[in-house]
Amino acid sequence: MTNTEHRLPSHWACALINGDTTGMEDQEIDAMTSTLKHLGVSSSSCLDVTDYQDFEHPPSCIPWLLAGAYATFSFA
């Protein structure tokens, strides 16, 4: 089994790890869903979150995201 890692907004952690989108606006959920689809991963396959950074620019492969706090999410 191959795991992939992606730098994503850290505030998505609860939704990706626990499936809890409480407190997220519909627009945020849509952005997360379309980003995961673009990357070819599923929120249900998120295994871990590491390497939190307070501020950075989004990865070049997902330029529609804003700069902010990011973390490395591992997917199965």
Q: How far apart are CA 38 and CA 1, in angstroms?
A: 21
Residue 2 or residue 61, greater confidence:
61
Residue 34 has pLDDT above 90, yes or no: yes
Q: What is the DSSP letter of 3?
A: -
Q: How far apart are CA 28 and CA 39, in angstroms?
A: 16
Phi-psi region of 51 (alpha: psi -120 to 50; beta: other; left: phi over 0): left
Domain count, the chain: 1
Residue with tokens 């379309």: 34
Residue 2 has a pLDDT of: 72
Residue 53 has a pLDDT of: 93
pLDDT category at 1 given cuts 50, 70, 90 is low
